[in-house]
Amino acid sequence: MTTTFTEPAECAGATALIVVLPTTVAEAFVPPKLTVAPVAKPVPVIVTDVPPATGPDDGETTSGSGAVFDMNTNNRRPTGWTSADAAGLAIFPGLIRYDETFGTAEITHAFRVTVRASNGYVWPASHAAGTNSSALPMGARLRLKASKNISGFTPEVQRLFRAMKRYGLIVADNGSDMYISGTMDARWNNSVLNPAFSALTADDFDVVQLGWREGVAPSAPTNVRILR
């Protein structure tokens, strides 16, 4: 299955639901004969590609970079490696998805978020894309404050916001301020989503204890703020 995302017009507000531009996320089963070492069964992977700045000629498919993630493990990218996201993370697992939002079960994962500037990286990120000493690192986790009243939103939006309270957001790339990404799906109702996300600001989030870095013990964040 291959899904291509395109970007809609930017909406007002500090926080908005957007899609990824332009990113292709593909899920495929790679037969053992295509792996370097024999395996007992096919290895499911996610491949993320970033098309080049200029489009391919008619009939051609061209990618500027790619990243392969083995879904049989929880391994991260090697230290220093990037992906379609500057942080080196897989994009698809951090997207807001229609089927989850309008499903019956709670959403059980964090969402990817972009920020204006960053400073190094912490796990699970593997790559840095900035050195702003007042900014968060790639891989930092934000969490919607438990005290944030979400009762006035639709049940579907409340489900999204509950996930933000429990699992939070992971800084995945530099970009627009506090932008949370979703899959491209014609069923989204932006007249509901945009006002709901615009009602959140960076001040509604806490910065959770920063992630682990090799040789450095985890520590509570100091002298950092969410640039907006």
Per-residue pLDDT of the chain (228 residues), as tens digits, is: 444 434 444 433 333 333 334 443 344 433 433 333 334 344 444 444 444 445 556 667 666 667 777 778 877 888 888 888 888 888 888 999 999 999 999 999 999 999 998 888 888 888 988 888 888 899 999 999 999 999 999 999 999 999 999 999 999 999 888 889 899 899 999 899 889 999 998 899 998 877 666 666 555 555 444 444
Q: What is the pLDDT of residue 72?
A: 85
- Whether 87 contacts 138, CB under 8 Å: yes
Q: What is the pLDDT of residue 152?
A: 94
Encoded tokens for 165: 């309270």
Between CA 6 and CA 174 the distance in angstroms is 18
Between CA 19 and CA 186 the distance in angstroms is 12
Encoded tokens for 95: 């997207």
